[in-house]
Chain A
Amino acid sequence: MVPTSYYLVLSAVLFGLGVVAFIFKRNILTVFMSIELMLNAVNLAFVTFSRSLGQLQGQVFVLFVIVVAAAESAVGLAIIILIHRNRGTLDVEKVDTLKD
């Protein structure tokens, strides 16, 4: 049987990749995907703990996260499409009018 720590390390690595991608990528779509990656990394950690502790709450949480993530991606993609239509770009560096 694969030890629990392996799963957790994989989860941490996926989360770290998500964070790094979120900070350094300039395309909004990629940033958006990195958020999904972080969410799934967390899901993996939940499932791991659920399995190792023999409790079901972790898996229930994962279902909630997936539902919320689905809603979030629907709204997020709509926002991205609108940004693209209005600005003609998907570069986050150029979407910074809030400071004015």
Chain B
Amino acid sequence: MPVLDYLWIIPLLPLVGAAVNGIFGGRWAKNAVSGVAVGSTTLAFLAALEAVREFLSLAPNQIPLVRDYFTWITAGNFRADFALQVDQLTVVMLLVVTGVGWLIHIYSSGYMHDDPGYRRFFSYLNLFMFFMLVLILGANYLLLFVGWEGVGLCSYLLVGFFFLKQSATNAGNKAFWVNRVGDFGFILGLLLMFRTFGSLDFATVLPHAASMTADPAGQAGTLTVIALLLFVGAAGKSAQLPLYVWLPDAMEGPTPVSALIHAATMVTAGVYMVVRSHAIFLNAPVAMQVVGVIGCATALFAATIGLVQTDIKKVLAYSTVSQLGYMFLACGVGAFGASIFHLMTHAFFKGLLFLAAGSVIHAMGGEQDMRKMGGLRKKIPVTFWTMFMATLAIAGTPGFSGFFSKDEILDQARVMAPVLWGLGVLTAGLTSFYMFRLLFLTFFGTERYDEHHVHVHESPKVMTVPLIVLAVLSVCGGWMAAPQLAGGVNHFEQFLAPIFASGAAPVAAAPEASAGGAEILRALFGAPVIAGLLGFLLAWWLYIKSPETPKQWAQSLSGPYKLLSGKYFIDELYAAVIVRPLVWISDKVLWHVVDERGIDGAVNGVAFVSRESGDRLRHASTGNIRTYATWIVLGVLVITSLLLWMVG
């Protein structure tokens, strides 16, 4: 088992790529730079494929496979190893991260081709891959946290990639600071976890947590506190209420970054962490409720904002927040497998949506406002068709990947929490509406741009081929769950089942209707699908049939419209309640009083005292050698007399 024995090779490959490009790439041609970057990710993807092939031939008792390479930290009874772990959950994440990451690297080599920061971009992107792989391969929470912070750093660097733009640097700072809030909760959770279990290894903590008695419903015990603190971290990283504000601003980064980091991989790290810690969450009912409610609220909240955004990337950003909400909703009702399933299909179709949006922006010469697009369907057909596939997938059209994953989440929610199910169905309708609105505004209708200035052109092959591959995945990515509809087995759930078997009770009842035909009918014409259809029809009517209606509605409903287009004024609220008071305190108190008077005063005071006292004391020195000699002789006489007196 070569690769499984040398697991570290998978994260190391992108790190080497990042280092080589970062150190030597300055003098190289662009082809060499992208060759190193894409080559290292390709090798990482191949290594991951080989690792998965070897993993599938392992006996069940060898899973999870842990490889302990060296002891990283020992302090007292605390011990953390550099140990990597592979189990079914890791396998899914590994394939998604390396596969989607690889496609996006290829796409970027075309998309970023004219950018002067080409080498810097690929160096950061490879570094991101390294940290993301450490995050999913780590066998203890501390290593997970290293990857967690590392991807945060790369996110900051890449959001602020166009650092000459003030808004980009601001967005980078915002992403970093909001994540600090979440990470603070995460660290507290880890400390409490270490205090409770005496270790941070998955292999120690999780079985221990599973064997503990669950905190009684409605009460908060240690497990609940740990789970909630971990969820604070997850909410920061995965952009949930109330810490979601950084993700829409993060769209200032280059579009491939939005696709890779802010849609497919990094933002799902919070979901991964919660699913990884499912043993803790299952014994903390209060925390589960919080996760479910927050997830559902975020899904609905972000979807409503997405309805009226005009920037093509902003719509997708709010859509990402909304879909992440679905994943946490799934976690909250105990459908961890469905959550990971949606994570995977979402990585396919949302990665594709962002890359296709990048292709549109590329074709429009940098324009992101959908009001200035329109009628692009015939001019960039590959982009249109791939984006159409992704839209069908995210809207939950039967047969497409998003249908299977979203339907499974809502199906489990229906059993556990009917209210959350209702809101989830509503969100599905909204999702369908804003996605088709995006599609219609961009590709249909009249051409609202100046044809003399904008020369619309299809993107090069290096960009369209990844689009096509992702489109195929967006369509077929959910088919392994399809047999369930006919009363058969959901292969994805079955694959992940061993992970959750060690946890508490199996969640959600077995499929109640084993009569295949009725099950298929119920799924095909279930509430989410009908909601999606209604969303589509409404978008079609508003943006194709009578394009004047949206403006009239915006005027007649100006209050709600302003609320939505102003994003509920949450940014303004945070600015007034948190940012401005902080800036005021920093400026008036910390800077002018504490720093200038306190710290500077102390430092300058010490210098002043020593200078003044030195100035006084130096007058004791005459500079006359004979005076010094006299003092020496007197001193010698005194000491000699003393010695003689003491001896005598």
Total A-B Cβ pairs within 8 A: 29
Our pick among A19, A96, A99, A100 for the contact of B633 (Cβ within 8 Å) is A19
Our pick among B619, B622, B630 for the contact of A96 (Cβ within 8 Å) is B622
Tell whether A97 is near chain B: CB-to-CB under 8 Å: yes
Tell whether A98 is near chain B: CB-to-CB under 8 Å: yes
- Pair A97/B624 contact, Cβ less than 8 Å: no
A93 CB contacts on chain B under 8 angstroms: 624, 626
Tell whether A23 is near chain B: CB-to-CB under 8 Å: yes
In the complex, residue of chain B having the shortest beta-carbon distance to the beta carbon of A96: B623
Distance of A93 Cα from B623 Cα, bound (Å): 9
- Pair B630/A99 contact, Cβ less than 8 Å: no
Tell whether B621 is near chain A: CB-to-CB under 8 Å: yes
Known: A19-B633, A23-B630, A23-B633. A99 touches B625 (CB 8 A): no
- Pair B623/A23 contact, Cβ less than 8 Å: no
- Pair A22/B623 contact, Cβ less than 8 Å: no
In the complex, residue of chain A having the shortest beta-carbon distance to the beta carbon of B625: A92
Tell whether A95 is near chain B: CB-to-CB under 8 Å: yes
In the complex, residue of chain B having the shortest beta-carbon distance to the beta carbon of A97: B623
- Pair A98/B623 contact, Cβ less than 8 Å: yes
Interchain nearest-CB distance for A49 vs B (Å): 17
A97 CB contacts on chain B under 8 angstroms: 623
Q: Which of A60-100 contact B (CB under 8 A)?
A: 92-93, 95-100
B622 CB contacts on chain A under 8 angstroms: 96, 99
A92 CB contacts on chain B under 8 angstroms: 624-626
Tell whether B378 is near chain A: CB-to-CB under 8 Å: no
Distance of A43 Cα from B621 Cα, bound (Å): 32
Q: Which of B614-635 contact A (CB under 8 A)?
A: 618-619, 621-626, 629-630, 633
Secondary structure type dominating chain B contacts: helix
Distance of A31 Cα from B627 Cα, bound (Å): 13
Our pick among A22, A95, A99, A100 for the contact of B629 (Cβ within 8 Å) is A22
Contact pattern, B 312-326, Cβ under 8 Å of A = 1, otherwise 0: 000000000000000
Most-contacted residue by chain A among B619, B621, B622, B625 (CB, 10 A): B625
In the complex, residue of chain A having the shortest beta-carbon distance to the beta carbon of B633: A19
Interchain nearest-CB distance for A39 vs B (Å): 15
Known: A19-B633, A23-B633. A99 touches B623 (CB 8 A): yes
Interchain nearest-CB distance for A89 vs B (Å): 14
B626 CB contacts on chain A under 8 angstroms: 22-24, 31, 92-93
B623 CB contacts on chain A under 8 angstroms: 95-100
Interchain nearest-CB distance for A94 vs B (Å): 10
- Chain A: interface residue total (CB-CB under 8 A): 13
Most-contacted residue by chain A among B618, B622, B623, B626 (CB, 10 A): B626
Our pick among B619, B621, B630, B633 for the contact of A98 (Cβ within 8 Å) is B621
Most-contacted residue by chain A among B622, B629, B630 (CB, 10 A): B629
Distance of A22 Cα from B627 Cα, bound (Å): 10
A19 CB contacts on chain B under 8 angstroms: 633
- Pair A96/B629 contact, Cβ less than 8 Å: no
B630 CB contacts on chain A under 8 angstroms: 23
Distance of A100 Cα from B630 Cα, bound (Å): 21
Distance of A100 Cα from B615 Cα, bound (Å): 10
Interchain nearest-CB distance for B588 vs A (Å): 46
- Pair B633/A95 contact, Cβ less than 8 Å: no
Q: Which of B149-199 contact A (CB under 8 A)?
A: none
Distance of A97 Cα from B624 Cα, bound (Å): 9
Distance of A97 Cα from B618 Cα, bound (Å): 12
Interchain nearest-CB distance for B555 vs A (Å): 86
In the complex, residue of chain A having the shortest beta-carbon distance to the beta carbon of B624: A96
Distance of A31 Cα from B624 Cα, bound (Å): 13
In the complex, residue of chain B having the shortest beta-carbon distance to the beta carbon of A22: B629
A95 CB contacts on chain B under 8 angstroms: 623, 625
Interchain nearest-CB distance for A26 vs B (Å): 8
Distance of A95 Cα from B625 Cα, bound (Å): 8
B619 CB contacts on chain A under 8 angstroms: 99
Distance of A93 Cα from B629 Cα, bound (Å): 13
Distance of A31 Cα from B629 Cα, bound (Å): 11
- Pair A23/B629 contact, Cβ less than 8 Å: yes
Distance of A95 Cα from B623 Cα, bound (Å): 8
Contact pattern, A 7-37, Cβ under 8 Å of B = 1, otherwise 0: 0000000000001001110000001000000
Interchain nearest-CB distance for B517 vs A (Å): 108
Interchain nearest-CB distance for A88 vs B (Å): 18
B629 CB contacts on chain A under 8 angstroms: 22-23
In the complex, residue of chain A having the shortest beta-carbon distance to the beta carbon of B619: A99
Distance of A80 Cα from B626 Cα, bound (Å): 16
Interchain nearest-CB distance for B640 vs A (Å): 12
A98 CB contacts on chain B under 8 angstroms: 621, 623
In the complex, residue of chain A having the shortest beta-carbon distance to the beta carbon of B618: A99
Distance of A99 Cα from B622 Cα, bound (Å): 5
A31 CB contacts on chain B under 8 angstroms: 625-626
Interchain nearest-CB distance for A96 vs B (Å): 3
In the complex, residue of chain B having the shortest beta-carbon distance to the beta carbon of A20: B633
A24 CB contacts on chain B under 8 angstroms: 626
Distance of A30 Cα from B629 Cα, bound (Å): 14
Distance of A30 Cα from B372 Cα, bound (Å): 101
In the complex, residue of chain B having the shortest beta-carbon distance to the beta carbon of A100: B623
A96 CB contacts on chain B under 8 angstroms: 622-624
Since A19-B633, A23-B630, A23-B633 are in contact, a sample of 11 more A-B pairs with Cβ atoms closer than 8 Å, ordered by chain A residue number, is A22-B626, A23-B629, A92-B625, A93-B626, A95-B623, A95-B625, A96-B622, A96-B623, A96-B624, A97-B623, A99-B622
A-B contact pairs, 20 of them (CB 8 A): A19-B633, A22-B629, A23-B626, A23-B629, A23-B630, A24-B626, A31-B625, A92-B625, A93-B624, A95-B623, A96-B622, A96-B623, A96-B624, A97-B623, A98-B621, A99-B618, A99-B619, A99-B621, A99-B623, A100-B623
Question: Which residues of A are at the interface with B, using a C-beta cutoff of 8 A?
Answer: 19, 22-24, 31, 92-93, 95-100
Q: Which 6 residue pairs are nearest across A and B when measured between Cβ atoms?
A: A99-B623, A96-B623, A98-B623, A96-B624, A99-B621, A92-B625
